[in-house]
Amino acid sequence: MYLKFFKRTIDILVSIIGLPFFILLYIVLGILIKIEDKGPVLYKADRIGKNSKIFKMYKFRSMKVNAPVLLNSDGSTYNSEVDPRVTKIGKFLRETSIDEIPQILNVLKGNMSIIGPRASLASVLDTYQTDEIDKMKVRPGITGYTQAYYRNKLSNREKRLKDAWYSNNLTFWLDIKILIKTFLTVFRKEGLYTNNEVNESTKKKQKYT
């Protein structure tokens, strides 16, 4: 009952309540982003959604215009405390997770949920193994089980398996626990960075699409 009806209802209500906050942030951050690095305020990227459907996910842009995408050898996103691709305001947005706020637009559109598995890059869809596919049984979330409890501490494979577990064990109380843990993780700045040193052998480049 929760998954089929109440979860979506809660998503819509929370997003509508949060919409004025997003608009205010868009105005303030939009000015700061434009001043530092002229370009779009929002970053749009193809992501894997429910039932493996591809959709456009929104974020506040934290990288310089036309910055290359860097991936680790396991397909996870390269993420370092010292990254020349990231703007000064972008680093703040990432460390506070404010860059994720525009995804309430995705929630309103029905692409995402407030809480759910992390939305993967569309380009890695064919790399999913059989025991990882269940991750796509539910809508991806602005925050979720792996983001709240592990953030960037796990390998890509471990994240996918835990997200698949979440999709098969989703309950209202689990979502509540994840939401509380999310605030604690962000406040404590836990597990922020996957890569602390640049290692050319563990990453590969691909262009933004």
pLDDT of 165 reads: 97
pLDDT of 181 reads: 95
Q: Are 95 and 40 in contact (CB under 8 A)?
A: no
Q: Count the Cβ atoms, other than its own, within 10 Å of residue 86.
A: 19
pLDDT of 1 reads: 81
| Cα 111 to Cα 46: distance, rounded to the nearest angstrom | 12
Pairing of strands 203-206, 69-72: antiparallel
Q: Are 193 and 72 in contact (CB under 8 A)?
A: no
| Cα 105 to Cα 71: distance, rounded to the nearest angstrom | 26
| Cα 196 to Cα 192: distance, rounded to the nearest angstrom | 10
pLDDT of 34 reads: 92
pLDDT of 79 reads: 74
Q: What angle do CA 177, 183, 184 make, to 5 degrees?
A: 85
Pairing of strands 54-60, 42-48: antiparallel
Residues of the chain with pLDDT under 50: 197-209
| Cα 127 to Cα 199: distance, rounded to the nearest angstrom | 23
pLDDT of 194 reads: 67
pLDDT of 200 reads: 38
pLDDT of 55 reads: 97
| Cα 106 to Cα 26: distance, rounded to the nearest angstrom | 15
pLDDT of 40 reads: 93
If we measure between CA atoms, which residue out of 41, 118, 108 comes closest to residue 75?
118
| Cα 203 to Cα 189: distance, rounded to the nearest angstrom | 24
If we measure between CA atoms, which residue out of 135, 180, 179 comes closest to residue 156?
135
